Chains A and B, each alone.
Chain A
Amino acid sequence: MSLGYYDWLVKVIVLGDSGVGKTNILTQFCDSKFSQNYTATIGVDFKIKILNVQDKKIKLQIWDTAGQERFRNITQTYYKGAYGIIFVYSLIDRNSFNNVEGWIKSILESTTDEVCSILVGNKLDSQDRRVQTAEGEKLAQKYNMPFIETSALENKNIQDIFDRLGQNLKIRLENEGQKVSNNIHTQSGQFKLNQEVNQTEQPTSSCNSC
């Protein structure tokens, strides 16, 4: 089980059009698996993984959302309280790239909190590229977020998504932690400082805790 030691518990959501590979990215990251046979996500799926960032352990509670537009009213309720957001598009689907800004705007509309985001162009393994690297970089720059191209199929750069996101989350959480220590009760309750610090359990590694 995932009840080992961690420093922070953080909610992360994965957004993007249907069929861009959100579930495959998560399954590769959390379970080291890839399957051509995953069913389309209905509603919201959930995974847990502990990420080591330098001397800290961040427990990621990752919400994998359905990409079809009609599910927006369901998935939007999950935006609240998210500390990290992974925006995914497919390098072989121009529309999915064009729609990224829509996803970013929907986040901006529904939350006033500062979130750590990353832009991911998936399906790097395919020969039929429709979105150039420079375009992804430009978009990421516009919204001031890191950018990475990945292949869930070949497990290329998947860990990097979470490492880079983790770095930014750690900086933010440490800043928040300072604020919290000045003001014991956070009003938002949107992230939790580790509630198991006082337990006697041995810390677990980031790899075996899912």
Chain B
Amino acid sequence: MGNQALCQHDRTESMLKAEYQIRQRKVTQVNEAVKLDLEQEHKQSLIPTIYQNEQQQTSCLHDWLESLHESVLITQINLNCDASTKFLSEIDEEEEIDQTKQSLIDTQEIFEYKKSYPYCNSNLDMVIINFYILKKNEFKIKLIMGPPKQRIRWSCWQLMAYTPKFHIQSDGLSFVEQDQKYAKAIRKDIHRTVTSNEIKYFETGEGQKDLEWVLLKLSKLFPKLGYCQGMNFLVGFTLIINNKQTDQSLQLLAQMMVNPKYLLYYIYSDEMPLVKLLEFICINEIKMKIPDLFNHIYLKLEVQNEIWITKLIMTLFLYNFHINNVCRFWDYLLATSIFDISDIICSLIDLNRYEILNMEDLHQFIQWFDSYQKKELDNLQIDKLIQNCNQFKQKKNKINQYALHFCILHPMRHPLIQQIAENYENLTKMKEFIKKDIFSC
């Protein structure tokens, strides 16, 4: 009996050891393929953090690399042979269920991807695409949990932001005929965007120059939009995350402007229609899911949206939260959609319900809200906040219903809201509308 137990123990130990070795081999293999080790140390140091847990980060990184192993193998086959099946053009349309079938990316589709993202063609990007295609759900869960390296994060974000068949050409834009009105407004804000003294890139002025360049290009890409305050925060942030890659920042944000999942264009365009709709959704979600907090915040404290929700929407959390925390919010939004901003807002107030319910006036609420500007939430706090979003997640068809409800209440609504009410789940129609609305003269 004793010997049997000992044998069992030995076997378990040797199995664990073997598993560990396999895991290590996979990690090494993926690391060699995507060359993550070559990532220079200074990239990470762009965002100083007071919460550095190296052991946890390494474990998370290995976990990611192991998950990418299959994708690495497939990418290698795919690049060497001409084997292929389908995808990429259907990224958005697919059901969010893990695909068990073995699927390879069509080489042609890779070219399409490269064409849309001319500056994003590393092995890592390809592996990430494969991972997403193979295990869509696992990919999104991992993204929401927070990638361990900014390079992985950036690859994931680019893939999520990508709008199939929507090419945005920015190379031919010259500054010669730039709209002086927007250029002047942009110059007023480049010093008022990333103000932390801890980020050297912006302290030295290099960041401001890049920020101005991307904003000017964006205003040229979307002439009807031009420049609106709030866009500067997004550009500054992306430049920090992707380590000063101006072209990639421009592409990512341009894609997010027109992608029906994010529709950033309509946050900043005249009348700010998406801000209005998102505020409407947030208020109604709070009212329905956490009515006691709704009553306290809106009826007792008389808090208005403009002092908190508007800021969160217009800067995607950058105005009020530490940059490292904002990374996690963006992971969540990019894995879901802009409409899920209400999940995060509900989760935030829900976790602070005791403090909020004890507030006696508007000033106390504002002090609480502004306090996030001065602190970085640690990993446990931010994990809890993100996990808590789950209980506030809304179904996709709810968006149409909210938009429809908004249209009934506001006869003078913007055509975008009408479009969301009618066609939010029909991506083709949404894309047609966006294209016509944004780019036609």
Contact = CB atoms under 8 A, between A and B. Distances in A.
Interface of A: 1-3, 18-19, 36-40, 42-46, 48, 66, 68, 70-71, 73-75, 77-78
B270 A44 contact: no
Interface of B: 185, 188-189, 191-193, 195, 197, 228-230, 232-233, 268, 270-272, 275, 304, 306-307, 310-311, 314-315, 319, 360-364, 366
A74 B418 CA distance: 21
A75 B360 CA distance: 25
A43 to B, nearest CB: 4
Contact of B192 (A40, A75, A78): A40
Interface of B is mostly: helix
Nearest to B191: A36
A2 B229 CA distance: 31
A75 B229 CA distance: 14
A1 B363 contact: yes
A78 B272 CA distance: 17
A117 B189 CA distance: 28
Nearest to A77: B306
Given A40-B189, A42-B233, A44-B304, 4 more contacts: A3-B360, A42-B229, A42-B230, A74-B275
B307 A66 contact: no
Contacts of A40: 188-189, 192-193, 229, 232
B192 A43 contact: no
A44 B189 contact: no
Determine the main DSSP class of A at the interface with B: loop
Contacts of B270: 70
Closest 6 CB pairs of A and B: A37-B195, A43-B310, A19-B188, A44-B306, A43-B306, A40-B192
Given A71-B229, A73-B272, A42 B310 contact: yes
Nearest to A23: B192
B169 to A, nearest CB: 26
Contact of A39 (B272, B310, B319): B319
Contacts of B229: 18, 40, 42, 66, 68, 70-71
B313 to A, nearest CB: 9
A209 B307 CA distance: 21
Contact of B228 (A19, A44, A68): A68
B193 A46 contact: no
A42 B229 CA distance: 7
Contacts of A73: 271-272
Contacts of B306: 43-44, 74-75, 77-78
A43 B305 CA distance: 9
18 contacts: A1-B363, A18-B189, A36-B191, A37-B195, A38-B195, A40-B192, A42-B311, A42-B315, A43-B307, A43-B310, A43-B311, A44-B304, A48-B363, A70-B229, A71-B229, A73-B271, A74-B310, A75-B306
A42 B364 CA distance: 20
A21 B311 CA distance: 19
Given A70-B272, A71-B229, A43 B314 contact: yes
